[in-house]
C-alpha cells in the first residue's frame, strides 16, 4: 500500500541588484564568494562548474538551489539532498527531502519506470535498517491461531485481537474444538473485536472446513486457503508468509496507502496493487517488505497526518509535505515504539525494542 522543495537559509545582508546595475559577485553564507567568485548572471549566481542558472534566478547558498547541488563556501550545502545552512540535526529529514529529485517535483523530469523501481528498492533497504525487528503484529503459536487471529483483525486493531484471543484459544485450542462450540459463547469471547456475529460465523465455519476437508490442519496453499470462510488473499498471504515461509505481499490499508504515496502504483484495487508491487521486488523480499511497509504506515506515515518531519525516508518520498514537517511537532505524532509507547503484541519477539502491550482491561 506532491513533494515541496526546501531551500537553504538566506545569507545575512544579501541584496538583489537594481535594474541596470551590474551584479556583484554572489556571496555564500558566511561572507565568502560563491564558487570561483564569478559574477551572477541576471541577478543570480553562476552554478559551480560555470553554467548559468536557468533564468538567472538561482542564488548561491542561502536562497534557492545551486545547480548540481555543490557546496557553497562557508560550510553550508546548496539544496541537493544535504543540510541547509545553519540548521541542526532536528531539521535533517526535511532538509534531506528538499533536495532530492522526485517524480512530480516542480521543474523535475517525470520519473521513469526504472527510476521508480530503483527508488522503491532503496525505500525497502532503508526501511530494513529502520525496522530490523519488523514482524507480524498478531500473537500466535501455530498456523491455526494465526489464521483465526487474522480473520478477527478485520475492522479492528491487532492490539485488540491480541487482547482477545488468549481466552478464545484457551477454550478452543483446535479447529475441532472451535467447530463444535456454542456460537453465542464464541460471540461473547470475541465481542471486543467488533462485528462479532459475522466473525463468529467465519471462524467457526473455517474451523469446520479445516476439520472436515483438511484433517484439522491449516493448508499451506493459496488456492486452498481462500476457499475457507472469511479468508481472502490478504489473510491467506499473512498465513502463508508467517506460518509457512511462502513469500507473499499483504495489501492491507496501510500497504495500499503507502504504495500509492510512494508512486509504486496508481491503482486502488488490492489485487492489482499486489501484482504491480510484486513486479518491482524480488519474490524473496515480499513477506518482509509487507511487514516493513505496514510498520512504517502504523508508526510514522499515518493516513490523516503523516509525521513527515520525523520520517527517515523523506529523501525518497514524492509525497513529502502532505503531513507535519516541523520535526518537533512530527515527533509527537509517532506511535508505538517510535513514540515510546507499548506495541501491539502481548508477546512480542525478543528483538522488539518497545514495550509489550497490556492485557485486556489493563490498558495504560
* Long-range contacts at 224-227 (CB < 8 A, ≥ 24 apart): 225/147
Q: What is the number of helices (H) and of strands (E) in the chain?
A: 13, 0
Residue 89, burial from CB neighbour count under 10 angstroms (0-12, 13-18, 19+)? exposed
Question: Which residues are CB-contacts of 46 (< 8 A; sequence separation ≥ 6)?
Answer: 26, 34, 35, 36, 38, 39, 40, 52, 53
| Contact residues for 173 (Cβ-Cβ < 8 A; gap 6+) | none
CA proximity to 89, closest of 331, 350, 344: 331
CA distance 321 to 318: 9
Residue among 206, 302, 223, 218 at smallest CA distance from 1 = 302
Active site residues: 234, 252
C-alpha separations of 273 from 234, 238, 278 in Å: 12, 16, 8
C-alpha span between 305 and 69 (Å, rounded): 30
Angle, helices 270-278 vs 233-243, to 10°: value is 40
Cα three-residue angle 97-307-292, rounded to 5 degrees: 85
How far CA 69 is from CA of 58, 83, 169, in Å, comes to: 12, 11, 59
Amino acid at each position: 500500500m506532491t513533494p515541496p522543495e526546501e531551500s537553504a537559509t538566506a545569507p545575512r545582508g544579501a541584496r538583489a541588484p537594481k535594474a541596470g546595475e551590474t551584479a556583484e559577485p554572489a556571496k555564500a553564507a558566511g561572507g565568502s564568494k560563491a564558487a570561483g567568485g564569478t559574477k551572477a548572471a541576471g541577478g543570480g549566481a553562476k552554478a559551480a562548474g560555470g553554467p548559468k542558472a536557468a533564468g538567472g534566478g538561482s542564488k548561491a547558498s542561502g536562497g534557492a538551489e545551486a545547480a548540481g547541488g555543490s557546496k557553497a563556501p562557508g560550510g553550508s550545502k546548496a539544496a541537493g539532498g544535504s543540510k541547509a545552512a545553519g540548521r541542526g540535526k532536528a531539521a535533517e529529514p526535511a532538509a534531506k527531502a528538499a533536495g532530492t529529485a522526485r517524480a512530480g517535483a516542480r521543474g523535475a523530469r517525470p520519473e521513469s519506470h526504472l527510476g521508480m523501481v530503483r527508488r522503491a528498492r532503496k525505500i525497502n533497504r532503508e526501511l530494513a535498517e529502520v525496522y530490523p525487528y519488523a514482524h507480524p503484529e498478531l500473537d500466535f503459536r501455530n498456523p491455526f491461531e494465526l489464521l483465526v487471529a487474522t480473520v478477527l483483525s478485520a475492522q479492528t486493531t491487532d492490539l485488540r485481537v491480541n487482547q482477545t484471543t488468549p481466552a478464545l484459544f484457551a477454550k478452543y485450542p483446535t479447529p475441532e474444538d472451535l467447530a463444535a462450540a456454542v456460537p453465542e459463547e464464541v460471540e461473547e469471547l470475541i465481542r471486543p473485536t467488533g462485528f462479532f456475529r459475522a466473525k463468529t460465523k467465519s471462524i467457526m465455519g473455517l474451523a469446520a472446513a479445516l476439520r472436515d476437508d483438511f484433517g484439522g490442519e491449516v493448508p499451506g496453499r493459496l488456492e486452498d486457503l481462500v476457499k475457507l470462510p472469511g479468508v481472502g488473499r490478504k489473510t491467506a498471504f499473512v498465513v502463508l508468509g508467517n506460518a509457512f515461509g511462502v513469500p507473499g505481499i499483504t495489501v492491507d490499508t496501510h500497504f495500499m496507502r503507502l504504495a500509492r504515496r510512494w508512486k509504486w502504483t496508481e491503482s486502488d484495487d488490492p489485487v492489482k496493487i499486489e501484482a504491480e508491487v510484486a513486479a518491482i521486488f524480488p519474490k524473496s523480499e515480499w513477506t518482509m517488505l509487507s511487514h516493513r511497509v505496514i510498520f512504517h504506515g502504523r508508526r510514522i506515515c499515518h493516513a490523516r497526518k503523516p509525521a513527515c518531519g520525523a520520517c527517515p525516508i523523506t529523501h525518497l518520498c514524492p509525497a513529502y509535505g502532505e503531513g507535519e514537517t516541523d520535526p518537533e511537532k512530527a515527533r509527537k505524532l509517532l506511535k508505538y515504539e517510535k513514540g515510546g509507547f507499548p506495541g501491539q503484541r502481548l508477546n512480542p519477539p525478543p528483538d522488539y525494542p518497545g514495550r509489550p502491550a497490556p492485557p485486556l482491561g489493563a490498558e495504560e
